[in-house]
Amino acid sequence: MNRTLRTLTLICLAAALCSCAAATRPASPDRPRAADAPKFVAVDASEERRTAALASWKTVVGGQAASDSPAPELRPVTATISALPSRLDAPPRMPLVVISDEKTQTEEETRESLRRFIQTAAPLIGADPKELSLVEVTEAQNGARTARYRQSAFQYPLRNGYGEVSITFTEDLRVLALSSTAVPDAERLRRALVPVAQNLPAFDANVLLNRAVTYTDRAGARQTRTLTQADPLNARQLVVYPVQNSSNPSTLELHVAWEAAGGGPSGALYVYVDAVTGEVLGAAEGSPEVTPQANRTPPTERKQ
User: Domain residues for 112?
Assistant: 42-190
CATH label of the domain that carries residue 291 = 3.10.450
Are 147 and 59 members of one domain?
yes
Q: Give the pLDDT confidence of 72-86 residue by residue, as tens digits.
A: 999 999 999 999 998
Answer yes or no: are the C-beta atoms of 193 and 41 closer than 8 Å. yes
The string of DSSP codes covering 137-198 is EEE-GGG-EEEEEEE--SSS-B-TT-SEEEEEE-TT-BEEEEEE---SSHHHHHHHHTTTTT
Are 52 and 182 members of one domain?
yes
Are 139 and 224 members of one domain?
no
pLDDT > 70 in the chain, percent: 80
Distance CA 59, CA 5 (A): 71
Q: Give the pLDDT confidence of 30-60 residue by residue, as tens digits.
A: 556 766 789 999 999 999 999 999 999 999 9
User: What letter represents residue 67's amino acid?
Assistant: S
> Number of C-alpha atoms within 13 angstroms, CB side, residue 293?
23
Q: Please report the pLDDT score of residue 151 as a whole number.
A: 97
Q: Please report the pLDDT score of residue 17 as a whole number.
A: 42
Mean pLDDT lowest for which of 6-20, 133-147, 198-212? 6-20
Q: Is 122 contained in some domain?
A: yes
Residue 291 above 60 pLDDT? no
| Rg of the chain taking only CA atoms, in angstroms | 24
Answer yes or no: are the C-beta atoms of 253 and 246 closer than 8 Å. no
Strand runs (DSSP E) across 92-143, as ranges? 132-139
Are 184 and 201 members of one domain?
no
Distances (CA, A) of 252 to 13, 47, 241, 247: 47, 15, 10, 11
Are 163 and 246 members of one domain?
no
Q: Quick one: residue 199, left, alpha or beta (phi over 0 = left, psi -120 to 50 = alpha)?
A: left
Residue at which a domain ends, from 146, 171, 190: 190
Are 171 and 207 members of one domain?
no
Are 203 and 246 members of one domain?
yes
Residue 216 above 90 pLDDT? no
Residue 237 above 60 pLDDT? yes
Q: Is 138 contained in some domain?
A: yes
Are 236 and 141 members of one domain?
no
Residue at which a domain ends, from 156, 190, 224: 190
Distance CA 282, CA 216 (A): 10
Answer yes or no: are the C-beta atoms of 216 and 298 closer than 8 Å. yes
Where is mean pLDDT largest: 28-32, 182-186, 201-205, 216-220? Answer: 182-186
Answer yes or no: are the C-beta atoms of 231 and 269 closer than 8 Å. yes
Of 104 and 238, more confident: 238
Q: Please report the pLDDT score of residue 265 as a whole number.
A: 55
* Three-state secondary-structure class, residue 33: coil
Supply angle C-alpha 78, 84, 86, rounded to 5.
Answer: 135
Strand runs (DSSP E) across the chain, as ranges? 41-44, 73-74, 81-83, 132-139, 145-151, 164-169, 175-180, 212-216, 222-226, 234-245, 251-264, 267-274, 280-285, 301-302
Mean pLDDT of the chain: 83
Residue at which a domain ends, from 190, 214, 230: 190
Are 46 and 185 members of one domain?
yes
Where is mean pLDDT largest: 9-18, 128-137, 212-221? Answer: 128-137
Mean pLDDT lowest for which of 89-93, 194-198, 248-252? 89-93
The mean pLDDT of 169-194, rounded to a whole number, is 96
What pTM, to 2 d.p., does this model score? 0.81
Which pLDDT band, with edges at 50, 70 and 90, does 94 fall under?
very high
Q: Please report the pLDDT score of residue 8 as a whole number.
A: 45
Mean pLDDT lowest for which of 125-129, 253-257, 269-273, 286-290? 286-290
The mean pLDDT of 80-105, rounded to a whole number, is 86
Are 92 and 204 members of one domain?
no
Q: Is 238 contained in some domain?
A: yes
The helix (H) or strand (E) run that includes residue 114 is helix 107-120
Q: Give the pLDDT confidence of 120-162 residue by residue, as tens digits.
A: 999 999 999 999 999 999 998 888 999 999 999 999 999 999 9
Q: Please report the pLDDT score of residue 35 as a whole number.
A: 63
Residue 294 above 90 pLDDT? no
Residue 235 above 80 pLDDT? yes
